[in-house]
Structure 1
Amino acid sequence: MIDTSNLMVSVSGVRGRVAEGLTPEVIARFAAAFGAYAIKRGPGKTVVLGRDSRVSGPMFARAATAGLQSVGCDVVDVGIAPTPTVQLAVEDLKAAGGLAVTASHNPIEWNALKFIGPTGMFLDAEEGAEMRAFLEGDIPRAIWSDLGGYSQDEGAVERHLERILEVPFVDVDLIRSKNFHVALDCVRGAGGRIFPQLLEALGCRVSAINMETDGLFPREPEPVAENLGELEALVRSSGADLGLATDPDVDRLSLVSGEGSAIGEDYTLALASMLVLRHRPGPLVTNLSTSRVMDDVAERAGVPLVRAAVGEINVARRMQAENATIGGEGNGGVILPDVHLTRDAPVAAALVLQLLAETGKPLHALAAEIGRYEIVKEKVPRPAQPLDAVYDALAARFPEAHADRQDGLRLSWAAEKRWAHLRPSGTEPIVRIICEAPTRADASALVETLRAALP
C-alpha cells in the first residue's frame, strides 16, 4: 500500500511535493490503478498522457507510462501540452481516459496526476471512489504478451487550436482587423505550446516573456494579481492593449489592462460571459467562491446564475445539468461547452479579444462597467476535528443569511451584497476563508469572524 500521509488525494487527482511523498513509485501505482479502472470502464484500452513543463515532469511521465502499460493500456503521449488539450485529446481519440502530469498552479517543488474520464472530463466523486478501489486492492497486471503499447500524438495542440477558432461567436477576421498588441506571460509553462499560435491566428502583435517550456518558473506560478508585476511592467513599456497571464497547465487566465494594472482573475470569467451571453443567452454556472460580479453579469443579461461546489468537475457537471451557455470559476477558469466542458485559458483569451473587438472599448472600461467588490482570502491550518460543528455554529449565529452547505459553508446577504465562504482545501492541508463585500473593511471583518470561529 502507498503512504498517502504526505499526499493530497482528491476525487480527480493526487498531488504532492517531489521526493516528499510524491515519488516515481507512487506515480506508477496510481497510474496502474487508473489504467485498470479505465480498461474496466472502457471504451477500449487507450489512455492519453500529457504533462506541463515541470522539471519533474519527464520522470513522472515515464513512471506513469510504465504503470499504464503494466496493466495493458496503450499509451498515447501528447508530450508537453495544456491540460485542456489533454482532455480534448481523450475525446478526439475516443480513449478510455487520460492522465495529466501537472500540479497546475502549485509551486515548482510540487507535481501531480489528474485523472480524466472517457468524456474528457475529470473524474467525479463516484468515479474517483471506483478508481481508488483498484489502488487499495490488488491491481490486475498484464502478462508479458498483453502489455500496453506506446505512441505519440503530435497533433493534439493543433486540434485544440482549430476547435477554438471554430467557436461560432469568435470572429477571427474581426479580431484580426483590430491588430491588438498583446503582452503575454506563460510562466515558462505549457502555454508556450499554444498561445503564440493562437495569437498569431488572431492577428495579434505579441510582446512575450517566460515562454520557455522548461518549468523553471520565474515567479509564483499562480496567476493572481500580486504575481504579475513583470507582466504589468511589460504592458506599460511595450504599449500593449492588454496583458495575458496563464498558469503552468494553461487552464487559468488572468488579465492586465492597457494601463498596466492586473484587474483580478475574477474578471476573466465575467468578461468572457459578457461576450457569450451577448450571442447566446442561457444559464450561467460558477462556484460558491466566485465573486458576485457574476451575479451582476447574469442579472444584466437576464439569465439565471447557478452556483456549484468548488472544483472544475462540480461546475462542469452542473453545467451539463443546467444546459449552461458558459461557466467556470473565479480563478480565471472559463468553461465553454462549444469547445469542451473544461477550464481553458486559450478559450478565455479568444473570448476576451472578441469582446474588445466587438465593443471597441479598452479592457479597463469593460471591467469598470461590471463594477467592483472587495474580496479577501485567507488560509488557516486545517483543524484535526470535523468542521461540521463550526458550520452549524456559524449558520445559527447568522440566521438572516442564506446558508449553502454544498461545499463547506457559504453565508450570503444578498441585499448587502456580501458573502462569506469557509471550506477545506482539496489540494492543500488548509481551510480557505473567502469573503466579499462592497468595502475591504467589511470583507476583512467577515474573515476575522470566520477565523475566530475555527478551533
Structure 2
Amino acid sequence: MLTESFSGIRGIFNKDLTKEVIENYALSYASFLKNKKPNPLVILGMDTRPSSPIIKEYMKKIFLRQGIDVHDVGFNTTPSIQHGVRHYNADGGVIISASHNEPMWNGWKFLRETGSVLKPEEIKEVIENSKSPENPDSKTRGKSEDRGSELRNAYVDFIMEMIGEKGIIAIQDAKLKVVVDPNGGAAATVIRDILEKLNIRIVEKNMELGVFNRLVEPNEKSLAYLAYYVEDLDADIGAGWDCDGDRVELVIPNSSEFSKKRGRMLSGHYILGLIVEAILSEYDGNNKYVVVNDATSDLIKDIAQKHDAETVEVEVGEINVVEKMEELNAPVGGEGSSSGGITPPSRCRDGILSLVQILHLMAKRKQRITEILEEFPEYYNERAAIECNPDIAVKIKEKLKEYWENQEHIKEIRTTGDETGGLKIIRKPTKEGPGWIWYRASKTEKGKFRIISDAKQREYADKLLGMGEKAFNDCVTDVELESVDAYLEKE
C-alpha cells in the first residue's frame, strides 16, 4: 500500500512505487519549486537499498527536462543530504529512502530551502498535484553535477564544527572505543572518517554498502549481537543505524545498575536525554527551550528543568518539532519516541551527530555512559501498535477522549495537531508516581493505532499500557456498534 503523508512517500518498489508514480511525484515537486523560482537547484541523494539508484535516475531525468539543475550526491545520509541543501544554497532536495523499512520498500522525502522536510500544507499540495501533473518540458534543460564525495567531506567538516575545537580535543584525549554497525546503509559512507578524526578506536561491522546482514531497523533484536562485542572488546559503546542514517540505537556496557535494570539497549528517550544534557550543560543563551513531540518521556522534562529550561510539546512529526524550534530559537529538540535529537542548524534527526555529541559528553565529564545515565531520573516507556480500520480512526480518537473525560484520577487531557493528532491522558500522581497514556493513529503505517505509556516505575507503565489498550478496544467496539445502528436505521 502506497503511504502518502507529511513524513514522506513510502511503498514497495515496483508494486506501489511504479515508474509512473515516481515520475508524477518528480513532476509535482518540480512544479512546486518552479512556482517559487524559474530555475531552481535541487540536491538529489539516496540510501543504499537496491531500488534507490533506479528511482534517482527516474527523478533526475524529470528534473533536468523541467529545467531544474541537479547536484547528484549519490549515497549519502539523510542528515548529510539535508545539510547539502544549506551548503549549496539549493532551493530544495530529495532524499530517496524508506528509512527503517526492509530493502524491498523505498520512498522519498522532499525538502525545503532550509533543508527541512516540507511543511504539512506544502507536502499536501505536492501529493494532490502528483495525481494529474501537467508540466510541459522546459525550453532550457537543467544541468547535472556529481557532488557525492564533495558533500560527504563537507558533512564531516560540519560534524567537527558542531563539536568545536575543545570538544574534538576532549574526545581525542579520551581514547574511546566504539563498535559501529551501519548495516550497509548510508552511515557507512562517513562514519569511519568522522571517528578516525576523533581518535576513536573503531570496531567495524557490516560496512559494505547495500549488503544488509540484519534487519534494517536497528532495535533490541537486530542489534543484540553487538552487546557481546561491546563486552568482549571492552568497548565504551555500540552503535547501529537504519538505512539512511538519521536514527541511531545504542548498546551500552553491562557493568552498571542501569544496564542490569534496563537492559543493554538504550531507549530513544534516554538517547535524547543525553543529547539534551550535552547541549544544555554548555548553553548560555536566553532561549532555554527544549521542543519534543507529545509521545516523548517526561524524562526530558526533568532533565530540562535541571537546567532551568522549559519543555514545549508538539504533535509527532519531525517537521512539527523543527518548526517550533525555529519559532522559539530553541537550542535542542527531538523525538524520544523515534530516537532522534535535533540541534540547529540541523533540521532533522542525525544519528551520527547524536553519537558524537554523546561521546563528547562522556569525554568532557570523564565518565562512562552508564555513569551519566545513573544520574538521570528513572522512567519507563511501554508501547503497543494495534490494528485499526483507518476509516474510523478519527471517531475512535473522539470516543477515547469522551471515555477518559469520564474516568477518575485524570489530571489533564491534551491534544496536539488536528483531528488526526495525538491524544494524551495525564493521570494524577498516585503512590506509583506520575504517568500518562498516549494515542495516535499512525500516519506512516496505515491501519495501525499507536499507544504509549510513560511512568517512573516499570510496573506502573505496564499497568497504564494495559488500561490504555482496554480503553481502546472498548471504544472500537462502541464505534463499530454505532456504525451498525446507523446502517440499520437507514434500512
Normalised-by-shorter TM-score class: over 0.9
Q: Distance in 1 between matches of 2:372 and 2:277?
A: 10
Q: Which runs of 5+ in 2 are unaligned?
A: 256-263, 478-491
Mean CA deviation greater in 224-233 or 294-303? 224-233
Q: Equivalences for 1:158-197 in 2 at 5 Å? A: 158-167=153-162, 171-197=167-193
Residues 182 and 240 in structure 1, CA contact (< 8 A), matched pair in contact too: yes
Cα deviation for residue 317 of structure 1 reads: 0.4
Q: Which runs of 5+ in 1 are unaligned?
A: 1-5
Q: Find the counterpart in structure 2 of residue 359 from structure 1.
A: 365
- 1:44-443 equivalences in 2 (<5 Å): 44-143=39-138, 145-153=139-147, 154-167=149-162, 171-214=167-210, 216-259=211-254, 261-280=264-283, 282-330=288-336, 331-337=338-344, 339-399=345-405, 400-406=410-416, 407-413=421-427, 415=429, 416-429=433-446, 430-437=448-455, 438-440=457-459, 441-443=462-464
- Alignment deviations for residues 104-139 of structure 1 (CA, whole Å, 9 cap, x no partner): 111121100111011111001121123234323433
CA distance in 2, matches of 1:146, 1:131: 23
| 1:14 alignment partner, SS class | strand
Q: Partner amino acid for 2:236?
A: D
Asked if the contact 1:269–1:332 (Cα under 8 Å) also holds between the matched residues in 2, the reply is yes
The 3 A distance-change label for structure 1 pair 423 and 64 is same
Give the superposition deviation at 1:93.
Answer: 1.3
User: Which amino acid counterpart does residue 423 of structure 2 have in structure 1?
Assistant: L
Cα RMSD (Å) of the superposition? 1.8
1:450 deviates by 4.0
Alpha-carbon offset, residue 443 of structure 1: 3.6
**Aligned residue number for residue 3 of structure 1:** none
- Contact 2:163–2:360 at 8 Å: present in 1 too? no
Q: Distance in 1 between matches of 2:273 and 2:37?
A: 37
SS of 1:226's equivalent? Answer: coil
2:24–2:132 Cα contact (<8 Å) kept: no
Structure 1 residue 310: deviation in Å? 0.7
| Pairwise CA distance, 1:12 | 4.5
Task: Work out the CA distance in 2 between the residues paired with 1:43 and 1:195.
Answer: 37
SS of residue in 2 equivalent to 1:148: coil
| Contact 2:218–2:249, Cα closer than 8 Å, also in 1 | yes
Structure-2 separation of matches of 1:129 and 1:182: 42
Indicate the SS of the match to 1:21.
coil
2: distance between equivalents of 1:454 and 1:194? Answer: 47
Offset from partner CA, 1:60-97 (integer Å, 9 cap, x none): 11111122223221111101000111111111112121
Could you say which residue in structure 1 is the equivalent of 2:472?
A: 451
Q: Is the CA contact (8 Å cut-off) linking 1:39 and 1:96 kept in structure 2?
A: no
Give the match's secondary structure for 1:385.
helix
3-state SS of paired residue (2:374): helix
**Does the CA-based 8 Å contact 2:7-2:317 persist in structure 1?**
no
- Take 2:464 and 2:157, find their aligned partners in 1: how far apart are those partners? 43
Q: CA deviation at 1:43?
A: 7.6
Query: How far apart are the structure 2 equivalents of 1:367 and 1:42?
Result: 49
State how far apart, in whole Å, the 2-side matches of 1:236 and 1:33 are: 51
Give yes or no for contact 1:270–1:293 (8 Å, CA) kept in 2: yes
Q: Does structure 2 retain, via aligned residues, the 8 Å contact 1:102–1:249?
A: yes
Question: 1:225: how far off?
Answer: 2.5
TM-score with structure 1 setting the length: 0.93
- Secondary structure at the aligned position of 1:59 is classed as helix
**Cα deviations across residues 166-214 of structure 1 (Å, max 9, x unaligned)?**
1266610111000000111112100101111111111100011111111
* CA 450–147 in structure 1, closer or farther in 2 if over 3 Å, else same: farther
Deviations 1:266-288 (A, max 9, x none): 21111011011001151001111
**For this pair of structures, how many residues does the alignment match?**
447
Aligned-residue identity in percent:
28
Distance in 1 between residues matched to 2:173 and 2:194, nearest whole Å: 15
CA gap of 1:255–1:168, structure 2 versus 1, over 3 A, is closer
Residue number in structure 1 paired with 2:485? none
Q: Could you tell me which residue of structure 2 aligns to residue 33 of structure 1?
A: 28
Asked if the contact 2:252–2:370 (Cα under 8 Å) also holds between the matched residues in 1, the reply is yes
Q: CA deviation at 1:322?
A: 1.6
**What CA distance in whole angstroms lies between the structure 1 residues aligned with 2:9 and 2:38?**
24
Larger CA Rg, structure 1 vs 2 = 2
Q: TM-score, normalised by structure 2?
A: 0.87
C-alpha distance 208-454 of structure 1, shift in aligned 2 (>3 A): farther
Contact 2:156–2:190 (8 Å) recurs in 1: yes
* Residue aligned with 1:402, SS: strand
The 2-side partners of 1:81 and 1:250 are apart by 9
1:414 shift after superposition:
6.1
Evaluate the alpha carbon distance shift between residue 271 and residue 414 of structure 1 in structure 2; reply closer, same or farther with a 3 A threshold. farther
**Match of 1:36, as an amino acid?**
S
